[in-house]
Amino acid sequence: MTQDELKALVGQAALAYVVPGQVVGVGTGSTVNCFIDALATIKGRIAGAVSSSEKSTERLRAHGIQVLDSNGVEQIPVYIDGADEIDQAGHMIKGGGAALTREKIVADIAERFICIADESKLVQTLGRFPLPVEVIPMAAAQVSRRLRALGGEPALRAGVVTDNGGHIIDVRGLRITDPAAMEFEINQWPGVITVGIFARHRASVCLLGTPQGVRTLSF
Ligand code: 5RP
């Protein structure tokens, strides 16, 4: 099976977690695009979607799925999103698509995070994938100095401006053995909008695409 086929498999499998009559939280990325396409087949059975990016909003609307303002929604039963890495406890690195801040906001409104990913995303320890950190542009140099002091090699993602007007710093070389502590630490620094560690908002369930089918991990 190709990676695209694995993504389609978990995108389809995620439909089982969508609660009929309720609003669904929708992430961002190529795996989520498969989920959005699958969601279109049951669009009459949901109350709408809260989206985590302009890109996902565009795709949802193209399918005729109503996109709701996050400020008008008090609670969402499930948020469905991909990940760049996920560990055995459901902690994730996200932000490869630069949507990490809105992703964390929608995840915060949701009761459960359902992660959809192909099996290449499962790791023992987070950090092989460069950690994205969204920053206010004027803080980029100072935040990079702090990241270097933590042992990372930061690099500004060239030409990328997020949906929030932020810049992304990608950090290589970190071995994230305590995701919750590192998330807390980096989030405190002035000018950091969001760090792409999802420990506090970790996955409740991961639907992992494998050549043998969908493997369900519950955390
Ligand atoms: C976007 C994300 C995505 O969930 C992550 O990059 C995974 O994307 P893909 O499904 O394309 O591999 O965090 O900010």
The DSSP bridge partners found for residue 2 are none
Q: pLDDT 10s per residue in the chain (219 long)? A: 899 999 999 999 999 999 999 999 999 999 999 999 999 999 999 999 999 999 999 999 999 999 999 999 999 999 999 999 999 999 999 999 999 999 999 999 999 999 999 999 999 999 999 999 999 999 999 999 999 999 999 999 999 999 999 999 999 999 999 999 999 999 999 999 999 999 999 999 999 999 999 999 999
CA of 93 to the centre of ligand 1 (A): 9
Q: Residues with beta carbon inside 6 Å of ligand 1?
A: 27-31, 81-84, 94-100, 103
**97 burial level (CB within 10 Å; 0-12, 13-18, 19+):** buried
74 is catalytic: no
Query: How many angstroms separate the alpha carbon of residue 105 from the centre of ligand 1?
Result: 15
Ligand 1 center–CA 155 separation, angstroms: 19
The pLDDT assigned to 172 comes to 98
- Test site for ligand 1: of 6, 32, 133, most ligand atoms within 8 A of the Cβ: 32
Q: How big is the chain by its Cα radius of gyration, in Å?
A: 17
Write down the pLDDT at residue 95: 98
Residue bearing the CA closest to ligand 1, atom 8: 29
Q: Which of 5, 7, 51, 84 to mutate to test the pocket of ligand 1 (most atoms within 8 A of CB)?
A: 84
pLDDT of residue 98: 98
Task: List the end-to-end C-alpha distance of the chain, in Å, as a whole number.
Answer: 26
User: What are the tokens at 126?
Assistant: 């987070």
Give the whole-angstrom CA distance, residue 88 versus residue 19: 26
Which one is catalytic: 5, 74, 103, 111? 103
**pLDDT given at position 60:** 98
Residue 61's pLDDT is: 98
Beta bridge partners of residue 133, listed in sequence order: 169, 195
In this structure, what is the dihedral angle of CA atoms 186, 192, 193, 194, given to the nearest 10 degrees?
-20
How far, in Å, is the centroid of ligand 1 from the Cα of 162?
14
Query: pTM to 2 decimals?
Result: 0.97
Half-sphere exposure of residue 189, counting CA atoms within 13 Å on the CB side?
Answer: 24
> At residue 44, what is the residue type?
G
d(CA 178, CA 183): 9
